[in-house]
Chain A
Amino acid sequence: MSKGKECSIVIAGVGGQGVVLLSELLGVAAVADGLKVHGSEVLGMAVRGGSVSSIVRIGDSISAPLVTTGMCDVLVSMEPSEALRYVSCLSSPSLAIISMEVVTPFMVTLGKCSYPSPEQIVEKLVGAAGKVVALDAVALARRAGSHLAANIVMLGALLATDAVPVKITTVRAEIERHFSAKLVPVNLKAFDLGYQEASAKMG
């Protein structure tokens, strides 16, 4: 598999979905592989069920913690509408990997705004990125043993792309290192299911 030398990844989601852990595992694996990493996240206010995003940039010539407009290689979104918030970082060479399970904002429940249809979201993303992979990470995580492992499903899906220059074995080793012995099998399975699903969808 040919792996690109540099890669800018934006990971989006909702507070509580494990966006920060996903990016941490990816970053720490990249460093274990001897790569240079610049990342960034916003903590504090944003974790209270609000929009959360995290950035991981891998490569020697990268120095900035943020991704420039249109220059994101892969957008990983744990939630469909959250992907739309980062549409301006996409351009035709970009790939977007989206988990389609909706997390309804309380403002929608209150009737203060509406939630777009999944078809509309995917259509807009297809217009923005070169390629869109939509999957149901929560269902796959449940199949692996816990709905909480959806972020690890997305990590597996991300590693199925050619864009990320990190070894799969290193990421798996980081999963083993991070989780308690009881949780390692579920998370490794989640990773593999995400990997297989995204590989199949990308053909």
Chain B
Amino acid sequence: MDKPGCGVEVRRKMGYNGALIVLEVKETCLQEATRPTIASDAQGEKLYMLGNEAIARGAIEAGVQVAAAYPGTPSSEILETLAEVAGELGIYAEWSVNEKVAFEVALAASICGLRALASMKHVGVNVAHDSLMTASYMGAKGGLVLVAADDPWMWSSQNEQDSRYVAEQAYVPVLEPSSVQEAKDMMASAFGLSEQFGQVFMFRSVTRIGHGRSDVVLGEISRTRREASFEKNPARMVYTPAVARKNKPLMLERFARIRHAVNELPFNQLRLAAGAKLGVVASGLSYAYVVEALNVLDLNDRISMLKIGTPHPLPAKLVSQLLLSVEEVLVVEELEPFVETHIKALAQESGITLKVHGKDMIPLIGELSTRAVIEAIGKLANRPIPTSFAVADKLAQDVAGMIPLRPPALCPGCPHRASNYVIKIASKRVARDYGDGVEPIYPSDIGCYTLANNPPLESVDSVICMGGSFGIANGLAHVLKAPIVAHLGDSTFFHSGIPPLINAVYNKARITMLVLDNSATAMTGFQPHPGTGNTATGEITDAVKIEDVARACGVKFVEVADPFDLKMAIEVLEKAMRFDGPAVVVMRSPCVIVLQREKKKKGEAIVPYRVLRVLEDRCNEKCNTCVALLGCPAILKQDGKKVIDASMCPGCGLCSRVCPYKAIVQE
């Protein structure tokens, strides 16, 4: 008898020429083997997936052959997922040095006829923006999809940004899913659409899609693998002004065809309710909140509804049908009034006069919620708002003052804590040379070390964008008489730290640039980068050395220090700051999480530190040095006495080095 879940499991690897190589065939009856994985055919089966895995799965189903990305929350798991199955499925996957290069890698594959994707967070789209603007003129041969992961409420970002505007500026059509399932389905369709219209498509995700989880019904995997070929065609490929002038009209024609076609796409759905006075338009994930809001308000059959899956270009025919059938419209969307503005324009063009609501009732900042939608629709439809909202608000207000602050912190054992301690000690000493009351200034950057912003370190004076620390430092050096000590991480250095470093040499900016090299892109999940010596798919490669780059760029003072060797590191940094010219110090010590994982793998012990007790111990109750200088979460106070939580302490020993009573020793 056939047992459910029994079958034959075939492990295949796709050769670079597209041929299937069978690695292993085994009969399986184990429960473990029956659950499909991201790379299983398993059409019609259900899998509980992270949204970013679903996005990767959609690309796999479409037969994506090239994927490139730079890590950034909430997008990183897309490339991670693809890299894991790249060998098995014949996909080339890479962590690129930055988003611009990632997009160009994908664009090149598309030019050669392969299906390709580049994924990045919203601010990464800014980095790729330059290439995107002209890639749009060039169009796509193989399906080309740029995944932009927006982050409403800035859970892990320096700003809120609506990537749909970038797409609009580039005449790039946008797909925006309303659920994790639709994210998978849309990605599976996106590459075909891109080829059908010969245009790059943007797939706009948001945090609650990419980091949402849901049951997803899998589709068929395309195992077709194309042969890449480069066709020399300067009239299409070489963007001189003359070529650009010829190609812009062609690009506009492609966009006009897309504008027409989106009315028929299944991702846009119009449901007109008989006699409805109010119409609601919801773009992407907002649709999920609207559906629930209508349920709560019991208005399902009384309101007309347009679900938008292509905010750019809008399905104008469906929009007009809705506008003509109702007296008032509410546009529900996260972040900016993108759809709202376009609908207002469409109404004006079609000579339809009606009130279009949007950001006058729906928050412009942060994530949407079912509640925000209930309140807006309830007001327009004259429905009572659940009284539980006011009760809950009162409760929240009541406890607000009781909740202790718990911002994210540098991990116990983090080398950035040591580096920032070193920065503070050395820079304060050097600042005295500049005169009384002169404060050193610390431009910082995007990465874990931003957390040194918190007390007690507070050695972060500015953070704007990747590489911005060195850029800001350049400018400060020319307008201020104070020591300027900028720091960024290793991955950020490769991403966009090198041009401002060269600028400092060229324009004689007397700044100290620290690269806090922990050998990982730690904040986003420890992805490898050009300095680590291995690739996204685990291959060994040449590691690019930061100090070599700095020297090659013409920096005359370049030193490497171990931040846990406090005396030496402070000395090196003081020397760097007193150097007459731009100076680079690489603070090199691996990320403690990576280090602990490696120790565990090798079976080595993690030895925590502990505090000795008074009398037989040396810890002075009145002394607070370790707490006040370091802010390590593993150091706690119990009745005024300091204790180290052994379950948290990885044994870096930094506290033992700053303790004036030598009260902290290794167990």
Contact = CB atoms under 8 A, between A and B. Distances in A.
B406 A51 contact: yes
Contacts of B234: none
A113 interface: yes
A152 B374 CA distance: 36
Interface in B192-222: 207-208, 211-215
Chain B: interface secondary structure?
mixed
A21 to B, nearest CB: 12
B399 A124 contact: yes
Interface in B396-428: 396, 398-399, 402-411
A188 B289 CA distance: 37
Contacts of A128: 392, 395
Interface in A111-133: 112-116, 120-121, 124, 127-128
Interface string A67-81: 011110000000001
Given A38-B212, A68-B374, A113-B404, A106 B292 contact: no
Chain A: interface secondary structure?
mixed
A65 interface: yes
Contact of A31 (B48, B389, B391): B48
B406 A14 contact: yes
Given A48-B411, A64-B288, A110-B628, A84 B399 contact: yes
Taking each of B156, B628, B633, which has the highest tally of chain A beta carbons within 10 Å of its own beta carbon?
Answer: B633
Interface string B47-74: 1100000000000000000000000011
Contacts of A36: 214-215
A147 interface: yes
A88 B31 CA distance: 41
A105 B405 contact: yes
Given A40-B213, A128-B395, A70 B389 contact: yes
A108 interface: yes
A90 interface: yes
B658 to A, nearest CB: 15
Interface residues of A, number: 65
Nearest to A104: B636
Taking each of B207, B291, B407, which has the highest tally of chain A beta carbons within 10 Å of its own beta carbon?
Answer: B407
B448 interface: yes
Nearest to A51: B406
A194 interface: no
B370 A49 contact: no
Contacts of A116: 402-404
A89 interface: yes
A89 B392 contact: yes
Contact of B208 (A30, A66, A177): A66
Nearest to A62: B292
Nearest to B628: A110
Taking each of B213, B287, B289, B524, which has the highest tally of chain A beta carbons within 10 Å of its own beta carbon?
Answer: B213
B393 interface: yes
Contacts of A40: 208, 211-213
B408 A42 contact: no
Contacts of B456: 110
B409 A106 contact: yes
A42 B207 contact: yes
Nearest to B407: A50
A56 B48 CA distance: 12
Given A65-B208, A71-B388, A84-B402, A46 B213 contact: no
Interface string B347-371: 0000000000000000000010111
A70 B392 contact: yes
B300 to A, nearest CB: 11
B631 A106 contact: yes
A68 B373 CA distance: 10
A196 interface: no
A202 interface: no
Interface in A21-58: 23-24, 27-28, 30-31, 35-51, 56
15 contacts: A36-B214, A37-B213, A38-B180, A42-B156, A44-B73, A44-B524, A45-B73, A49-B409, A63-B291, A65-B208, A87-B392, A88-B396, A90-B395, A114-B404, A121-B402
Given A45-B523, A68-B292, A91-B388, 15 more contacts: A24-B213, A38-B288, A40-B208, A43-B156, A44-B74, A47-B408, A48-B451, A49-B411, A50-B408, A81-B403, A84-B402, A109-B637, A112-B405, A114-B404, A120-B402
Q: Which 4 A-B pairs have the closest CB atoms?
A: A44-B156, A44-B73, A50-B408, A48-B408
